Amino acid sequence: MDALEKIQRQIQWNRLIAVVEEQAQTMIRTAFSTTVREAGDLSAGVFDLQGRMLAQAVTGTPGHVNSMMESVGHFLAKFPAASMKPGDHYITNDPWLGTGHLHDLTVVTPAFRRGEIVGLFANTAHIIDIGGLGMGPEGRSVFEEGLYIPIVKCFDQGVPNETFFDFLRVGSRTPVELEGDVYSLCACNDAGAKRLVEMLDEFAMDSIDDLAGYIFDSSLAATIAEIARLPRGTYSASIKSDGYEAPVTLRAALTILEDAIEVDFAGTSGLSQRGINVPPAYCRAYSCFGIKVVVAPDIPNNWASLAPFRMVIPEGCILNAPRPYPVSVRHVTGQLLPDLIMGCLHQAVPDRVVAEGSSCLWNPPLRGGAQVSGQQAEVADFEVITFNSGGTGARPGKDGLDGTAFPSGVRTMPVEATENVAPVIFWKKELRPDSAGAGRTRGGFGQIMEIGAKGDAEFAVNAIFDRVANAPKGRDGGGDGEAGWVGLNDANGTVLRTKGFQVIPKGRRLLLKLPGGGGMGDPAARDPALVERDVADGLVTADAARRVYGASK
Amino acid sequence: MSARLAVDIGGTFTDLALERDGQRWTAKTLTTPQAPEEGVLVGTQQILAAAGMAPADIALVIHGTTLATNALIERKGARTALLTTEGFRDVIALANEARYDQYDLNIDLPQPLVPRRWRLTVPERLDNEGKVLLPLDEAAVRTQIEVMRAEGIEALAIGFLHAFVNPVHEQRAAAIAREMWPGLPISLSAEVSPEMREWERFSTTVANAYVQPMMARYLGRLETGLREAGLGCPLFLMLSGGGLTTVETAARFPIRLVESGPAGGAIFSAHVSKERGLEKVLSFDMGGTTAKVCLIDHYAPQASRTFEVARVGRFKKGSGLPLRIPVIEMVEIGAGGGSIAQVDSLGRITVGPESAGAMPGPACYGRGGTKPAVTDANLALGRYEPELFAGGAMKLQVAPALAALGAHVGGKLGLGPEMAGLGVVEMVDENMANAARVHAIESGKGFGGRAIIAFGGGGPVHGYRVAEKIGVTRVLVPSGAGVGSAIGFLRAPVAYEVVKSLYQRFGTFDVAAVNGLLAAMSAEAYGVVAHGAPGAPVRENRIAYMRYVGQGHEIAVVLPARALTVADVAAVRAAYDAEYTRFYDRPVPGSDVEILSFAVTVATEVPDVAAAADVADAAAPAPIRVQQVRDTRTGAVAAWSVYDRGEMARGARVAGPCIVSEDETSTLVGPGWSCRVDALGYLELTQEAR
């Protein structure tokens, strides 16, 4: 390869990353579900005909990282590339062929140039409702969790599959949004395909195979070089989650090899009877993210850059749920995986990891109207979810982030927007004082939320919360973050279960206290000026400042 | 005809442009950050002397400044308090609860302009329809005003939930504050940015309050200074949305001034497109630190209402403070002559956004810079004559440039320094082309039939190659490209935009309510414009921001500038479907459409410019020299002729590859391109079929 070709390869790679970013932006601009358009719970990428991912949009969330990637292989197994036609779009929400629960739709679309198929575009998005029990842990099998879409064509050579759309519409509480979202996912892949073809024309390329080879070689070499910088060995850690019927222990032994990192989850708790189980692709996604964010954060996601991270997930453990175990809220378990992985990596590279954080999103699915109160309903039927985050763990050189999503990559929705789509009132959503774990660097603060229905009518929450019985841990002598709390706003502080469907009686409101992140290092070593600042801001009480930090005032 | 003067204060230079009877003078002076009006006055005296005019000859001064932006970036604004709804003290701190970079554990999030101790709450609550759920606790307002007084607060922002639907509580709280504390500057969210989404609205309101005292003082001093210098004429301010406004309005809503410089550049391009009768252009302004691209259709830049200021994560989207104000839609990326190149862990060349700045500057400046910048790469390709850079004002040094490229790029990739330079230039051109592509998709537009208007120091150098990358075959390099923004100020209309939210569905469209709102908005906008330009003919533009029920992003649909009739409603609905299909290929069946908000803009008519007639061919001058230049597309080195722009008569044509040189910049005419001077003296580059 001569010097000019070398440079051109780089330009083409750069272009491909721009192509998938356009794909993702198109989805955000056309999606109906607030989960996609406001919160950014989505993923988009381009693949070769063997189903290997070449590039993934930076916009998106880690839960889809390699789960979407694995998914394309399943589509190709059912519909070989040779059988695909221009204008075809394929869809599924199978948790085991997609990204781990029925609420995630994955769409795959072939890209054609001069009548030849040249690549595939895939995307994944979290939609608001897919029928069944609704988003929540209560299902005892996947069949209760909603409409199950096998891999089918939703568009056949540009023509909508009306039978599919008929089933889709009647299966959801939000049919218009769901149908609109499917259109949006297809439009976004079309946008990517159009750009890819333009790129091939411009560079006079007949296929993306040579470029794929270059991307894969560079990415693999760079990832292995980063792995080689780590001290070899096996490092073990465990973490406790509140679970549903019983506490759950996640256990990992992470081995740094010469050219790979292997994680064995032996010793992890068994399956739950409820929807907190994690399908293996989702376990791989968040484990990979936990490794990558520490070890090789600058290397873009693709088939080769993810290949050196291998997971051994024993059968029968909660991280390897088989069909038809319920998996609707697999995130509440899976989002603890980066904390677990960092518990291992802390022993190898202590200055590159962060303390444990709130980690699991606090997303209350709220429901009201006749579905909750029957004929006594005082408000119209509604189904709404908002994404909210506690504090992240302290960082070696910086405090944790207050009320910020990690590891998830989603955003929250404006309260005004939520109140515009459902008869709910948020009476409070602000930072929670004294919730951050103390340390030389402290954790991020959690938040407090108080939510009622309009007119303080009866409504229900399908709770999916964690870190209530098991607070986020500090590291290196840092304190734990304050644990979460779920209950009512009444005088005696009625406590609710952290998971499951519960009715908030008329006249009462739901009160959520989101966990703070763990601290890092000895609190006595913290800069007193920073302690004073937090006291002046009302985030640390004077009493806590004296007690925890030994502040004089 | 009397003269008009435009003054654009940038970070380093204050640019001036003066026009009378079609004649133009330009000047540059150093910006005086401590008292920017001093630089303005010095520059004004210089340009008046150059033009042989007296202060009294000036009929109008138009001014734009980055002062407000700098105050936000450097955090040098007023001690600002935010009075807000109880339970929502941390809206501007929680932001969207997201990280703008998924893979960086050490990101810094932008700190709110108002620290938590000055974010004070009062009991009050409206619902989404503006109905009072909890009355305003007036005693609590009084208590909090006392707290602010004790804290030495200098400006107050008031932001309550759903106040954009019903401002009653904000207005009452403001009245109490004024009564207790006359003279305290107050910004209401319902006035500054009356739109849904509390974080963006509060952020905008707080930013307005934060810069208000400083901007009011500055504008006062500037007015006085101009008057004392004999310029008793009116002073207008350039807005980020591309219109002009009075000092009074600017002092009330100074946040609308933040992007005035780039807005001037876009107006400049729009004017050039009109002079040339080019219906679709891409404005491409490349300077020392950043490049700005902006699509212009039918001679008008695109309007937008979202902007981010003071980004902490370099140029990363999401790392700044959101502002919901009328702005010209454009993309700005960290790609300029000073942008530094390096090689990442995957062996990829990256360029920017770090910049060598003016000190030490690119390695070739010989001021101690050792990292390779885009200017070094251009030099390594032979694009600049080292002895004659900037008209000979500055001598470039080849050896340090090659050394920097070799050490930081070539050595790591097995490339010689010249090929490393090629890689750097190709990558920065690619980055700018990608920014243009993303901008186009976000606007639902393509590049077919479009021309590029290139200006700024780097635009004419990189224009033809960026054009090739996005499939554009025509590039125009106007004259005066070094002070494009200031010239743009002279072309801007006196304008004002009012935005209000009023929720409507087509299923239940309330024609009377919509007409009532639009009439009130129209009256407000007419009032502002009539005050600034009494008796001038004006044009009104009405827009509805619409989407399918349930979607999150709106599309702008133009409404007739008159009261709507029932018959109009179906036409507006149909216009939405057509517009949606243009963006995203297929409309969504079965969905109702909703309107979130309306915008009314009133602007003075801009004098019509007749497209310039063509000019007869003229003889090409002889080249002034020949340079050995490496072509970035093929890597081949060839002899490129260099022509002096001053020697090229209107109608003269030269064939590429060649360079047209002038003091401010060099225009590169790539292989396969030709360059002709048009009737206006602009360089027009055309690519022959490849």
Q: Where are the alpha helices (DSSP H) in A414-501?
A: 415-421
Closest chain A C-alpha to B81 CA, distance in angstroms: 13
Mean pLDDT value of segment B298-302: 88
Q: Helix, strand, coil shares of chain A as percentages rounded to 5?
A: 35, 20, 45
> Do B88 and A428 make contact, defined as CB atoms within 8 angstroms?
yes
Binning pLDDT at 50, 70 and 90, where does residue B443 land?
confident
Say whether B438 and A21 touch across the interface (CB within 8 A): yes
Average pLDDT estimate for A53-58:
91
Query: What DSSP character marks residue B56?
Result: G
Report the gap between the CA of B97 and the closest CA in chain A (Å): 4
Measured between CB atoms, which of A11, A62, A411 is closest to B426?
A: A11
Chain A residues lying within 8 Å of B577, measured CB to CB: none
B468: nearest CA partner in chain A: A202
Cross-chain residue pair A7–B426, CB shorter than 8 Å: yes
* Reported confidence tier of residue B358, pLDDT bands at 50, 70, 90: low
Residue B389: its pLDDT value, please? 79
User: Which ranges of B533-643 does DSSP label H, i.e. alpha helix?
Assistant: 566-584
Tell if the CB–CB gap between A398 and B108 is shorter than 8 Å.
yes
**Residues in contact with A529: Cβ distance below 8 Å, sequence separation at least 6, in sequence order:** none
Residue of A nearest to B415 (CA): A3
* CA proximity to A199, closest of A319, A113, A122: A113
Residues from chain A contacting residue B349 (CB–CB below 8 Å)? 7, 10
Q: Give the confidence band of B551 by pLDDT, cuts at 50, 70, 90.
A: low
Average pLDDT over residues A508-535: 97
Show the tokens assigned to B2: 């009397």
User: How near does any CA of chain A get to the CA of B405, in Å?
Assistant: 15
CB contact (8 A) between residue B586 and residue A183? yes
Pick from A405, A414, A426: which is nearest to B98 by CB?
Answer: A405
Å between B67 CA and nearest CA of chain A: 29
Summarize the confidence of residues B478-499 as an average pLDDT.
Answer: 86
Taking CA atoms, A133 is separated from A32, A182, A275, A329, in Å, by 21, 21, 11, 12
A440-449, B27-36, B110-119, B230-239: the lowest-pLDDT one = B27-36
> What are the chain B neighbours of A420 within 8 Å (beta carbons)?
128, 196, 503
Residue B639: which pLDDT band, with cuts at 50, 70 and 90?
very high
Helix (H) or strand (E) holding B260: helix B260-275
- In this prediction, residue B500 carries a pLDDT of 81
Residues 101-130 of B with CB under 8 A from A: 102-106, 108-109, 115-117, 125, 127-128
Q: What pLDDT does A281 receive?
A: 93
Smallest CA–CA distance, residue B314 to chain A, in Å, is: 16
Task: Flag whether pLDDT at B1 surpasses 60.
Answer: no
What whole-number distance in Å separates Cα of residue B189 and Cα of residue B171?
Answer: 10
Which residues of A are less than 8 Å from B82 in CB distance? none
Report CA torsion sign: A69, A72, A77, A81: negative
State the best of B99, B102, B554, B633 to mutate against chain A, taking most chain A CBs within 10 Å. B102
Q: Per-residue confidence at B641, pLDDT binned at 50, 70, 90?
A: very high
Note whether A218 contacts B347, CB cutoff 8 Å.
yes
Position B593 scores a pLDDT of 87
pLDDT tens readout for residues B217-255 = 999 999 999 999 999 888 999 999 888 888 888 999 999
CATH class of this structure's domain B495-604: alpha beta
Query: Which range has the worst mean pLDDT, A42-56, A515-529, B26-40, B585-599?
Result: B585-599
**Is pLDDT larger for residue B545 or for residue B429?**
B429
Contacts of A314 (CB under 8 A, 6+ apart): A265, A266, A268, A320
The band of B439, judged by pLDDT with boundaries at 50, 70 and 90, is confident
Is the pLDDT confidence value at B550 over 70? no
If you average pLDDT over residues A508-514, what whole number do you get?
A: 98
CB proximity B530 to A under 8 Å:
no
CATH superfamily of the B3-72+216-260 domain: ATPase, nucleotide binding domain (3.30.420.40)
Q: What is the mean pLDDT of chain B?
A: 90
The predicted model gives B4-9 an average pLDDT of 92
Contact B591 A180 (CB under 8 A): yes
Q: Contact B197/A292, CB-based, under 8 Å?
A: no
* pLDDT tops 70 at residue A255: yes
Tens digit of each residue's pLDDT (9 = 90 or more) over B622-632: 999 999 999 99
Q: How confident is the model at residue B209 (pLDDT cuts 50, 70, 90)?
A: very high
B354 versus A219: the higher-pLDDT residue is A219
The whole-angstrom separation of Cα B165 and Cα B172 is 15
Nearest to B159 by CA among B195, B184, B134, B131: B195
Write the residue in A11, A395, A539 that is nearest to B430 by C-beta.
A11
Torsion of CA B327, B330, B332, B335, to 10 degrees: -150
The whole-angstrom distance between B233's CA and the closest CA on chain A is 45
Find the residue in B nearest to A192 (Cα): B441
Q: Which residue has the higher pLDDT, B3 or B626?
A: B626
- Looking at B130-134, B175-179, B576-580, which range is the least confident one? B576-580
> What is the rounded CA–CA span in Å between residue B451 and residue B281?
5
Asked if B438 lies within 8 A of A29 by C-beta distance, the reply is no
- Which of A41, A295, A297, A394 has its CA nearest to residue B101? A297
Q: Does B97 touch chain A (CB under 8 A)?
A: yes
**B583 pLDDT higher than 70:** no
B437 touches chain A (CB under 8 A): yes
Confidence (pLDDT) at A1: 63
* B26-50 mean pLDDT: 87
Q: What is the mean pLDDT of residues B506-523?
A: 91
pLDDT of residue B99: 93
Does the pLDDT of residue A406 top 90, yes or no? yes
**Number of CB pairs < 8 Å for A and B?**
222
**A156-194: per-residue pLDDT in tens?**
999 999 999 999 999 998 888 899 899 999 999 999 999
pLDDT band at B448 (very low <50, low <70, confident <90, very high): confident
Q: Is the predicted pLDDT of residue A6 greater than 90, yes or no?
A: no
> What are the helix (H) ranges across B444-565?
459-470, 484-491, 511-532
Of B196, B416, B426, the CB nearest to A417: B196
**Cβ–Cβ gap A176/B552 under 8 Å:** no
Interchain contact, A539 vs B471, CB within 8 Å: no
Question: Which residues, including other chains, have CB under 8 Å from residue B275's CB and lie 6 or more apart?
Answer: B609, B611, B612, B680
Q: How far is A169 from chain B (nearest CA, A)?
A: 11
Which pLDDT band, with edges at 50, 70 and 90, does A410 fall under?
confident
Residue B324 has pLDDT above 70, yes or no: yes
Residue B346 has what pLDDT? 84
Given this model, what pLDDT does residue A467 score? Answer: 97
Q: Does B421 touch chain A (CB under 8 A)?
A: no
Alpha-carbon span B170 to B154, nearest angstrom: 19
Can you state the angle between helices A542-549 and A528-536, rounded to 10 degrees? Answer: 160
Q: Taking CB atoms and an 8 Å limit, are A395 and B434 in contact across chains?
A: no
- Span B397-406, mean pLDDT? 96
B92: burial class by Cβ within 10 Å (0-12, 13-18, 19+)? Answer: buried
B97 closest CB neighbour out of A21, A32, A389: A389
Q: CA torsion A374→A379→A380→A386, rounded to 10°?
A: -110
The mean pLDDT value for B677-689 works out to 92
Residues in B touching A154 (Cβ below 8 Å): none
Confidence (pTM): 0.90
How far apart are the C-alpha atoms of A220 and A299, rounded to whole Å? Answer: 9
What is the rounded average pLDDT of the residues A204-231?
95
CA dist., res. A412 & res. A414, Å (int): 7
Instruction: Express as a percent the part of chain A with pLDDT over 90.
Output: 82
SS (H, E, C) A344-413: HHHHHCHHHCCCCCCCCCCCCEEEECHHHHHHHCCCCCEEEECCCCCCCCCCCCCCCCCCCCCCCCCCCC
3-state SS assignment for residue B592: coil
| Binary contact (B94, A431; C-beta < 8 A) | yes
Cβ-based neighbour number of residue B449 at 10 Å = 12
Q: What is the average pLDDT score of chain A?
A: 94
**Best residue of B128, B350, B425 to probe chain A, by most A CBs closer than 10 Å:** B128
Say whether A6 and B413 touch across the interface (CB within 8 A).
yes
Interface of B with A in 195-234 (CB under 8 A): 196-200
The predicted pLDDT at position B536 comes to 85
- pLDDT for A228: 96
What percentage of chain B has pLDDT greater than the value 90? 61
Q: Does B89 lie at the interface with A, CB-CB under 8 angstroms?
A: yes
pLDDT in tens, B147-196: 999 999 999 999 999 998 899 999 999 999 999 999 999 999 999 998 88
Q: Which of A399, A420, A540 to mutate to test the interface with B (most CBs of B within 10 A)?
A: A420
HSE, side-chain direction, 13 A CA sphere, residue A67: 35
Q: How far apart are CA B424 and CA B327, in angstroms?
A: 32
ipTM of the complex: 0.92
**B133 to chain A, closest Cα gap in Å:** 9
Q: What is the structure's pLDDT at B66?
A: 82
- State what percent of residues in chain A have pLDDT above 70: 99
What are the angstrom distances between the C-alpha of B193 and each of B207, B520, B525? 11, 17, 15
pLDDT score for B382: 95
CA distance B27 to chain A (A): 39
Percent over 70 (pLDDT), chain B: 96
Q: Rounded to whole angstroms, how far apart are CA atoms A165 and A174?
A: 13
- Split at pLDDT 50, 70, 90, the class of B505 is confident
Does the beta carbon of B351 lie under 8 angstroms from any beta carbon of chain A? no
